[in-house]
Chains A and B, each alone.
Chain A
Amino acid sequence: MPELIDMIEGRRIAEHRPWPRVVVNDDGWRSLTNQLAAGQCTLLGLWGDLETEHLGAVHMCVLGEREIAVATIECPAGRYPSVGALHPPAIRLERALCDLYGIDPVGLPDPRPWLDLGFWSVQHPLGARGDAPAVRAPYAFLPVEGENLHQIPVGPVHAGIIEPGHFRFTANGETVARLEQRLGYVHKGIDALMAGASLDKAARLAGRTSGDSTVAYAIAFAHAVEAATGATVPPHATYLRALMAELERLANHFGDIGAICNDASFSLMHAQCGVLRERVLRTADSCFGHRLMMDVVVPGGVARDLAANGRSAVTSLIEEIRRRFPELIELYDNTASLQDRTATTGILRRDLALQFGAGGHVGRASGRNFDARKALGYAPYDQLDFEVPVFEAGDVNARVWVRIREVEQSVALLEQILRRLPGGAIRAEVEPDGETREGLGMAEAFRGDVLAWVRLAGGRVARCHLRDPSWFQWPLLEAVIEGNIVADFPLCNKSFNCSYSGHDL
């Protein structure tokens, strides 16, 4: 099998690391699009760029069997052949790109705006920047035709303590005929804030792209910067990063398992899992001085060492989880009324999971075996033993089970990390030399792989793009709910638990 990079013809960019970036022409771009559409590789991200003041460009990151590559098409005329025309997972990315840069994906099947809801004072804020139109155009939801259909609009302000977004359900009685999502409400302009930011500020921004995955984002961003600058992270720091990443995974999985059961009105699990989640957050606080561990992972390593009582805090956390969690698994598994709600509900087909490159529990509950920790083997996971649990059923139940098994894996990982913690320096100096350098990084967050791409110039961040796993999961939620009853939507939604903030940027 030829290497992915050999199949992409074009001008290779020397300063891009660790994976290659190649500038291709229209034909090269189309041929790669065809490969995506044929399922020969997976789309990892697609984002815009302004290489010089007048030259817009589009980057597309793809994953082959194991290897990763970035293809770039320059758009002097402000347009390029749409990837979404042949490969639907790119559609929302291209709609967003169009909003932010004003670059036109020719042939894009759905040209409606995506992040620009008509409230900004500027148009194409990252591109040519013009004044926004004086009159806000109404958003055209997809037409729905048929007898006995009614619509239920929900959001952007929802009933719970959750992020904002709009869901437009079309139902036939209780059965959902279509769900259409409209997102973008929490768009903060992170790509624009990144441009020109110091490394320090950029790392803080990356850690606030999606608060629940702050550690994973900080790691992905650090990986990208370290690749660009060639910095070597001390082993002790990589282990501390993994310690934080697994604590974050545990906290989120406990929260999710409880919340999914709560959406099936089984509040006992919610209360019990809430206790475990709180224990994890308190452990994180005593280990690193922040419950969510924000701003601890920095380019070059970590900002502070494990606190003196950290080791014993993690050890007693492990004991508590080992003591309490098995009976909760049993409770979940043996409560018929709960199983009745989760089993066979919201089934995601394997082919869709593969086509969209769905990461995390969404992909792994539907047979897509991808975990950036395993697939890329970034330090220290290349030195640790763990398994990636994969299920085939694709329903809410399978997504719960992926989380349950991952909790067990994370606990085992914490033990290994404590045992092997190497000691030594916690941070290597990362000093950009002022040259233009580019780096790509990934990290496995609790909900899937986070991708970070960065270009450094003049000692600062010139461009940075962060791609949340939710980009490829949100559209699948629309597919999953079809044919289910409206009352099962919260359950399906929570079993996905996509990020609004990470998606909206």
Chain B
Amino acid sequence: MRRILLESMLRRPLTEAPPPGDDAMLAELAGAVDRAARRRLGRSLSIREVDAGSCNGCELEIHALNNAFYDLERFGLRFVASPRHADVLMVTGPVTMNMREALERTYNATPDPKWVVAVGDCAVDGGIFAGSYAVVGGVAGIVPVDLHIRGCPPNPLQLLKGLLTLLDR
């Protein structure tokens, strides 16, 4: 274990890997998110994720925000366990009938001021699941949405970009 820890200290951080393409965009986003977050909130943002019927593809990419490459916490953004600790609800899925009430209750449990970010194509209008008897079809039909991040699923960079847009509004 010591060797791995030592190596991690000696190796260059993965987050600062040489730029071209994605990494450059990531570095650019890093500064911008930080400034905007401070201006608007003067503190960090806490995010509570709610799966309202996704296929779990969006969850995989939201998870990736926490890995060493995207390292969400360096922007002051972090995922929290309870809606009562959250500033932002990040909602995925077409909102199934069976999750509707749970989503409403989670929203009501989140203190003001709060923002709702709907993630993924099916969170916009139900996507490929639209029209089913079991699906409401879009997060905005249940709770007010401040921002949609499209994609099936959106990749971690698109997710980061979306959070930035929310802060800049």
Contact = CB atoms under 8 A, between A and B. Distances in A.
A144 B56 CA distance: 33
A407 interface: no
A119 B97 CA distance: 6
Interface of B: 1, 3-5, 14, 49-64, 66-69, 79, 81-83, 93-94, 96-102, 106, 128-129, 131-135, 152-153, 155
B4 A274 contact: no
B79 A186 contact: no
Given A277-B67, A500-B56, 10 more contacts: A121-B97, A161-B59, A186-B53, A186-B93, A211-B60, A271-B68, A278-B68, A285-B155, A292-B60, A501-B54
6 contacts: A117-B98, A125-B133, A157-B106, A187-B98, A188-B134, A212-B56
A278 B98 contact: no
A97 interface: no
Contact of A161 (B5, B49, B93, B129): B49
Nearest to B3: A327
Given A119-B101, A188-B134, A501 B64 contact: no
Nearest to A291: B155
Interface string A96-118: 00000000000000000000010
B99 A164 contact: yes
Contacts of A281: 64
Interface in A231-277: 255, 268, 271-272, 274-275, 277
A285 to B, nearest CB: 8
A130 interface: no
A14 B81 CA distance: 54
B95 to A, nearest CB: 10
A355 interface: no
Interface of A: 117, 119-122, 125, 156-157, 159-164, 184-190, 192-193, 201, 204-205, 208-212, 214, 255, 268, 271-272, 274-275, 277-278, 281, 285, 291-292, 294, 327-328, 331, 334-335, 499-501
Contacts of A193: 128-129, 131-132
A402 to B, nearest CB: 21
Contact of A187 (B64, B134, B153): B134
Nearest to A259: B63
A327 B57 CA distance: 29
A201 B130 CA distance: 12
A125 B59 contact: no
Contacts of A285: 155
Given A189-B133, A274-B68, A208 B98 contact: no
Contacts of A187: 53, 96, 98, 134
Contact of A275 (B68, B97, B155): B68
Nearest to A285: B155
A189 B67 contact: no
A268 B1 contact: yes
Contacts of B133: 120-122, 125, 189, 192
Contacts of A161: 49, 51, 59, 62-63, 79
Nearest to B5: A268
Contact of A209 (B1, B55, B99): B55
Contact of B132 (A119, A192, A275): A192
Contacts of B69: 275, 278
B128 A189 contact: no
Max chain B C-beta neighbours (<10 A), residue from A192, A291, A294: A291
A471 to B, nearest CB: 16
A501 B55 contact: yes
Nearest to B109: A157
